Structure 1
Amino acid sequence: MTIYRTFFASIVVAATLSAPVAHASSFAAWEVANVAWDDVLNVRAWPSTQSAIRAGYPNGTPLSMTGRCMNGVDLKNIVTLPRYEQTQMVRYTWCEVWHDPSDTGDWQTGWVYGRYIQPQ
């Protein structure tokens, strides 16, 4: 019986180690909001309007946020606040997203301006 348990445990460990791992600090709890109807939210390489645009997403698109924002804001620390307060805390800062701009599994980080995101 012990041999079977050891064998089963080794299969579980091997399957766990070979499974794809998501970005450990990301969570999808925000979405694109407040963008003009004919525009998109630009995801940029760095937190600056002068930075290269990596992708663009319309209103309502779910965003996988890393939790990290400029000016000392951490989305994981404000998640218990009311939605309005969370939105106000990021309104004038940049926040990091985890996204796949080409839909090929090539995930990367980028930055969005807080005025155009809100908690889901």
Structure 2
Amino acid sequence: MITSRNFFAAIVVACAISAPSANAATFAAWEVANVDWDDVLNVRAWPSSKSAIRAGYPNGTPLTMTGRCMNGVDLKDIVTLPKWDQAQKVRYTWCEVWHDPTGTGEWQNGWVYGRYIRPQ
């Protein structure tokens, strides 16, 4: 028998599953840039060009960033810099994204190379 308490619990669980992780602060202030017109930016499973490709996005696609990048770069620490300076800080490193490659609410993390992203 479905009670109102069970129904409420099911809704809470469904919302938690479909939303980005509560412990991962995310923001969508970056986008794909500098990719050849006939190519896409690969989102990889790990921060390596040899890692599995999870998705590909063309120029202009908004990205939901976690803020975490390799080499000690944190997007939250550079957000007050001019956009050009922010782009230079990540140019030679990998940054983590939170994305839904299938559009079905199955969010996952991935990594993009900083040369191909810029602040919006």
Shorter-chain TM-score tier: 0.7 to 0.9
Residue of structure 2 equivalent to 1:113 = 113
1:23 to 13, 21, 24: 21
- Write out the 4+ residue segments of structure 1 that deviate beyond 4 Å after TM superposition: none
Q: 1:37-67, CA deviations, whole angstroms, 9 ceiling, x for partnerless residues? A: 0000000000000000000000000000000
In structure 1, runs of 5+ residues without a counterpart are: 1-13
Residue of structure 2 equivalent to 1:3 = none
Q: Among all aligned residue pairs of Structure 1 and Structure 2, give the percentage whose two residues are the same amino acid.
A: 76
Q: 1:57-96, CA deviations, whole angstroms, 9 ceiling, x for partnerless residues? A: 0000000000000000000110000000000000000000
Q: Rg: which structure is higher?
A: 1
CA distance in 1, matches of 2:57, 2:78: 24
RMSD of aligned C-alpha atoms? 1.5
Residue of structure 1 equivalent to 2:64 = 64
Residue of structure 1 equivalent to 2:77 = 77
Equivalent position SS for 2:65:
strand
Equivalent position SS for 2:51:
coil
Q: 1:19-44, CA deviations, whole angstroms, 9 ceiling, x for partnerless residues? A: 44433411100000000000000000
Is the deviation greater in 17-26 or in 77-86?
17-26
Paired AA for residue 66 in structure 2? T
CA distance in 1, matches of 2:54, 2:79: 27
CA contact (8 A) 2:20 2:98 kept: no
* Number of residue pairs the alignment of both structures matches: 106
Equivalent position SS for 2:46:
coil
CA distance in 2, matches of 1:23, 1:81: 27
Paired AA for residue 94 in structure 2? W
